[in-house]
Amino acid sequence: MSKRVMTPEDLLQLRSVTSPALSHDGEHVVYVETTLHNEKNTYSAELIRASLANPDDYQYLTQGEHINRVPRWSPKADVLAFLSNRTGTTQLYVLGSWGEPKQLTDEKKGVTDFRWSPDGSRIAYSSTQFPEAEKEEDKPEPLVVNKMKYKSDASGFWQGEYVHIFTVDIDSGTHTQLTDGELSYTLFDWTADSEQLIVASVNQENTDFIFTNDLILLSVDSKEQTQLTDQTHVISDASASPDGKYLAVRAHEREYDNATQNEIYLLELATNTWTKLTGDWDVQLGPVVAADFLQNTVDPGLVWAGDSLSLTFLVSEQGNVGIYQITVDGQREAILTGNQHVYGYSISSDGRTLVAGISESGHPGDLYNVSPGTDEQTRLTTSNDSFLEEVEVVQAEEVRFKSEEGHELQGWLLKPAGFSDGESYPLVVEIHGGPHAMYANSYLHEFQTLAARGFAVLYINPRGSLGYGQEFVNAVRGDYGGGDYRDIMAAVDYVLGQNAWIDETRLGVTGGSYGGFMTNWIVGHTNRFKAAVTQRSISNWTSFYGVSDIGYYFTEWQIQADLDDTDKLWKHSPLAYVNQIETPLLILHGEKDYRCPIEQAEQLYIALKRREKTTTFIRFPESNHELSRSGKPSLRLRRLEAIGEWFEQYL
């Protein structure tokens, strides 16, 4: 039986299977299955427990129309903690043999993260706390702004809130607030004795020009804080060894601002001795994949083995994400690698049992029981099997070649669904955001819908992408529209030369965020493309400097200019080349995008229309910068349809 082709609406049929959590006996795994619902325009996420010995033996632990996520087992009992928004805000729950979830918190603004104490008696959690004086809902108040970091694409305008750390006793239900004041804290872990928490904060009154944070030990009894660093690092994770001797820390020293790769440091607590374990390893630690399908993924961070002699963690390199292990004396070993995207995992303390979430370009993702260090895998989930039996999913073909400047470039080519030799097909070039991100051997729904419409899809990692070493990721800074543009065009030339079936007169280009900037730049510098779609883009660095939630520092880091050098800002602005744009351009933008505010799209649209160029502007209500990944389902579908229809019209 022939399969039908993919549609945007198929996003509603697919299930995202993520966040595996192994039980202590190694016999079961709990995971999250996320579904999109068009009728109510919402998401739901359920917790499912499955047997490793018999994956068909599974049980839904939660059911309904809520989002239940981040399952974590107690270290000492068969009790599961998780986050759920079933009351309207995200709160902390536990589930045990009693069968019904028990709510542990009732924080007004919800719970953002949590960690079990090693003795299983308490859970530490973080929660956003607002000033005592609450505003009346029906009376709008002016927003008084006294800081530069006053808004966020994720959370909106800052109104005096701070993130603080709490504990809750499992037996008594007693809550204790451990931090207060005008500081925010990030929760990482407990120390092995269950007496202290490992947290991070910025101990500065004015953080507008502070981009590092400090590692702190926080006593859960006295609330005393011991600062372990002195604003020298950007710390993204820390975990304590089970024997209490070490802290493992993932961080970097901002040598290349936000283009700096992470390192793993080992802190010996007794001597306060720091050792960089990964100093000779030129890779990106942690997952950095640009994708649009998976929901409720969790980076496991730095995971200690039970004997305190090694750590496991995710590594992004060469278009793949895999699991590696490093010992306390710096010896590295690959645990799970290959042409795939490992988007999460759970490993037993003895390292013998590993459950990993794995996606490939032709498969949305499943959980697998993996024999560490071998190729032996048993698939545990089949959430999308019936769908995949009916719908054609195209497997990407890897593209590798050397640029004229001598560096190797990697990308992938999707042939059109139903490809037939002897036929001629148009090509759409996709450009990821960041720019410090990475396309990978992973499923991308947008690309599959374009292939289903008869387009070939080319996507590459140009200079500036993570996964290819520090020099490569740093190469884009101060050169937007230079070497990165040449890399993308070289990729187009290469695939045209290798694939005679691609019609070079029918080329399209699209991308979002930095990819939107590059789309704007490309159509202002060549007329080779017959259609383009720019999404949540940047068009004018001069105005971006003041309107983006990250504008002033991101512009200085990436363009390496500020308002004292408007000539350079304008030189790198696609709006400066609007007279040269002849390509029909569709502009897509979210109304509530604070990362690349919608005025960037408005300027470009008006400039094009004033010059009577072919363009259409679609504004997406209630949508921030994450529209394509986590926006309202109906708007995500409308976006996919608009992209496909534009390319069908002009290619």
Report in angstroms the alpha-carbon separations of 370 from 62, 350, 388. Answer: 26, 14, 23
Alpha-carbon torsion angle 430, 434, 435, 441, nearest 10: -50
DSSP 213-247: BEEEEEETTT--EEE---S-BEEEEEEE-TTSSEE
Q: Report which secondary-structure segment, H or E, holds 77.
A: none
Q: Report which secondary-structure segment, H or E, holds 473.
A: helix 470-474
DSSP 583-621: S-EEEEEETT-SSS-THHHHHHHHHHHHTT--EEEEEET
Dihedrals φ, ψ of 46, to 5°? -115, 150
Active-site option among 117, 543, 625, 628: 625
* CA separation for the pair 522, 537 (Å, rounded): 13
If phi > 0 it is left, if psi is from -120 to 50 it is alpha, else beta; for residue 70 that is left
Q: At what angle do helices 483-498 and 514-523 cross, to 10 degrees?
A: 70
User: What is the β-pairing status of strands 310-317 and 284-285?
Assistant: antiparallel
Least Cα distance to 274 among 228, 305, 206 occurs for 228
User: What is the β-pairing status of strands 151-152 and 102-103?
Assistant: unpaired
* CA separation for the pair 72, 115 (Å, rounded): 8
* CA separation for the pair 220, 576 (Å, rounded): 56
625 an active-site residue? yes
* CA separation for the pair 221, 351 (Å, rounded): 33
Alpha-carbon torsion angle 309, 314, 317, 320, nearest 10: 130
Dihedrals φ, ψ of 215, to 5°? -90, 135
* CA separation for the pair 435, 516 (Å, rounded): 11
DSSP code of 579?
G
Q: Report which secondary-structure segment, H or E, holds 116.
A: strand 111-116
Find where tokens 């965020």 sit.
Answer: 513
Q: Which strands form 585-590's sheet, in the order they lie side by side?
A: 397-402, 408-414, 456-460, 425-431, 502-512, 531-535, 585-590, 615-620
- Under 8 Å between Cβ of 528 and 643: no
| Cα diameter, the chain | 75
359 an active-site residue? no
Total Cβ atoms within 10 A of residue 383: 20
Active-site option among 346, 513, 543, 623: 513
Asked, as a colleague might, if the bond just before 435 is cis with ω within 30 of 0, I would say yes
DSSP 501-562: TEEEEEEEEEEETHHHHHHHHHHTT----SEEEEES----HHHHHHHSTTHHHHHHHHT---
User: What is the β-pairing status of strands 425-431 and 502-512?
Assistant: parallel
Residues facing residue 126 across a β-bridge: 113, 165
Active site residues: 513, 625
